[in-house]
Structure 1
């Protein structure tokens, strides 16, 4: 069972998701800074860079958006040319086009945009020009996958593309068809707005953080949503009634005096989860170091002494660490390249068990994670997609005095061996 806990402060909304009592997701969103991912804009091409096979597009944000050639070609791989044309043959400065944000602006980089449009609904993702039907890989039963594939082919028309989501498993044709009709109408509205809108301008904004959570992760049969604002709960209930009318009673208003995230134990869990050093059950530890594109996680036995021998102790520690790493990647929304330095194991079967444990945990993550395997140095290599940077995590910021180095006295760093020169 999942519990969704939403705290509504003036100017900010914070959300926590727990599964069987354990915190697995956290996000925060300022009222005036809703994320851009999923939003549609009518943009204007500012410049085209053939050397990068990319273009910069003005969508009305502080920085121009980045449009790569792969996001201009046909969304179906089988319909793309064998040899990519120069982007100069596809786009010209001053040209207007509709783009969708696929990755948030971050740091010095603008948003990444695409012309591979997609609109997520309750049961499916609608792609107006993709020309194929896909079924979520998380639906394991082959007969159900085949049923949904046939259903999707029957419902789509022309070049439409559909991806049947995991929650569509067992759903009736009427429910899926109703979702498709609503998404078609939504896309038609975007097209109509684009005809007369100036460039740049916003055509369609994705749902709020709470609505996205309800759409993507809420099971109306078993999950619970707690909110500390009656007005916000009314909005959430109205949206939930659109997709699951019988489930509106799953939303509950918290009326305690203690802040809701503290009352549910979330604040303490967040503090531990976003620390540099995380202690596991039994005393083993993780050291978590993040850069913009790379995260390194070091596993240590520390005070953990369980197991009948050294190999057994190491394997047990690594299995505990794998489960926690999978949870924390999701909770911290870690993206990019991830290297986990597990304690050395002698037996290949034990290394396989660690990978299988991590795969089992990441399957519950709605963000795609690829476990690439062990490197020659014995590190476990992974990648995890990250598109949103709007989560205001409680991890603080580098110290203004030392810049995060931990040294505030201004003295130069000692180089080992320097005293011998």
Structure 2
């Protein structure tokens, strides 16, 4: 499988696209006016304690106070081997026992502010590098579950244990998680990361000591460098960067942390915009639509709401050439592959429900679920997929840390106020009639002027002329209608003259 990373930089916006086999699979956007906060560490102040929710709101200098749950609070002196609060039975103490209003606390953003919700925080700090994640308040040494080879897992433990020291009772040795990228890496590469993370943590500790409440003490890398840290590996054939300044920064970063991949970085100075390569720009635009066509003629309907995202599978024009069960099976297989791609491309998270077309054959159900899991295997976000339910639905979750692509690039329609539908001209007609009746009961006027969208006015004059005459007789006043081109279909004004 050929993979490339495209980095597009303009003065106020940076975009990173991941292309696999000539198709855009992921896109990440960062704007200067609204940079993400995930990974940043702050010295915060507890603003409000909520015992009923076992949580607190913490002021960290953002527009809205951030949310911190009791299970995400750690006191370094009481941390257990896994970095979590421990009192012998796994019970999380009351929030009032852990913190109080006005207390200063060091926290890290784990989820950006989304919609009307503030950022989500954790006091379990973690600082990532290329191959490792430093856990300052834990003494564990964990290995990524995606490294499946037992011999390699043991090798990594054997290599790292002497570097990080012994885990002695009461010791202050930090913990580490070995990332998937570490598979097959040399002892020298891992030692470099251990030393790097040690330096970073010392700087963070110095910043914490002198910072005031609400100040940032550690900032996560910019989008291009963060993307390369997390995604650049030997499978990536090329990284194309269309900005000379960003290219220079990327080259320095890669040379320092991934010298073996130096030759993969390329400055793109082609005439075509970089996101026009492989049709990435068009794919982004299509990812903002609800309907996703399938090659077979079927299609998906992707609907994102506050509570969850639903994906509905339809056969559409696909009739198949055998029988109904085979047609449904083939459509669902293609839909499973397309759905896994759309989740990555649109950066959809939280609860996701996929409504596959009903299947009778149990083996078909297993194969469709297998295809979905296979498509999600390359997803960098953590996903959990449950078996097909009795209603034929697949329930799954995908970790969400930032807004979806649509929420980043779009805003609710000013005409329909985000409903996605408009009231019909007929509905607006009857609303106008009711408003006229209401107005004449409240105010004195000789005649009335109704200003509305041309489609509404035309309908009233052509199809409701009899009703207008009856209404004029009922209220004993004349009514004049005026079409306003700039009015939306739901907009109208009743003016008393």
Shorter-normalised TM range? over 0.9
Alpha carbons 2:127, 2:133 under 8 Å: kept: yes
Partner residue in 1 for 2:304 = 290
Higher helix share: 2
User: Per chain length, whose mean CA-contact separation is higher, i.e. which structure has more relative contact order (CA < 8 Å, sep 6+)?
Assistant: 1
Counterpart in the other structure of 1:332? 346
Equivalence map 1:187-226=2 (5 Å): 187-220=201-234, 222-226=236-240
Which residue matches 2:422? 407
Q: Secondary structure at the match of 1:180?
A: helix
Per the alignment, residue 170 of structure 1 pairs with 184
1:140 Cα shift? 2.0
Alignment of 1:346 with 2:360, yes or no, is: yes
Partner Cα separation in structure 2 for residue 35 and residue 8 of structure 1: 16
Pick aligned residue for 2:195 from 159, 171, 181: 181
Task: Please state how far the C-alpha of 1:307 moved relative to its aligned partner.
Answer: 4.9
Task: Give the deviation of 1:34 after TM superposition.
Answer: 1.8
The alpha carbon displacement at 1:85 in A equals: 1.6
Whichever of the two has the greater Rg, that structure is 2
Corresponding residue of 1:261: 275
Query: Helix, strand or coil for the counterpart of 1:134?
Result: strand
Q: Which residue in the other structure is 2:86 paired with?
A: 80
Structure-2 residue corresponding to 1:378: 392
* Structure 1 position 38, deviation (Å): 0.2
| CA-to-aligned-CA distance 1:16-39 (integer Å, 9 cap, x gap) | 111121211011111242210000
Distance 1:138 1:246 in 2: 22
1:310 equivalent in alignment to 2:324? yes
Q: Work out whether 1:388 is the aligned partner of 2:402.
A: yes
Structure 2 equivalent of residue 92 of structure 1: 100
The correspondence for 1:135, drawn from 123, 127, 143, is 143
Q: Which of 118, 122, 125 lines up with 2:130 in the alignment?
A: 122
- Within-5 A mapping of 1:238-277: 238-277=252-291
Alpha-carbon spacing, 1:306–1:145, altered in 2? closer, same or farther (3 Å): farther
Which residue is 2:47 aligned to?
46
Query: Which deviates more from structure 2 when the two are superposed, residues 30-39 or residues 242-251?
Result: 242-251
* Normalised TM-score (structure 2): 0.79
Q: Following the alignment from structure 2 to structure 1, what is the Cα–Cα distance between the partners of residues 409 and 28?
A: 12
Question: Which has the larger displacement, 262-271 or 218-227?
Answer: 218-227
Tell me the residue number matched to 2:433: none
Are 1:16 and 2:17 matched, yes or no?
A: yes
Q: Secondary structure at the match of 1:373?
A: coil
| Alpha-carbon distance in structure 1 between the residues aligned to 2:259 and 2:215 | 34
Classify the secondary structure of the residue corresponding to 1:287: strand
| Residues matched between the structures, number | 414
Whole-angstrom distance in 2 between the partners of 1:79 and 1:193? 25
Q: Does 1:233 align with 2:234?
A: no
Structure 1: where are the runs of 5+ without partners? 415-421
Q: Match for residue 418 of structure 1?
A: none
Q: Is the 8 A contact 1:211 1:236 kept in 2?
A: yes
Unaligned runs of 5+ in 2: 166-171, 431-497
| Alignment RMSD (CA, Å) | 2.1
SS in 2 for 1:374: coil
Q: Distance in 2 between matches of 1:363 and 1:46?
A: 41
CA distance in 2, matches of 1:306, 1:3: 35
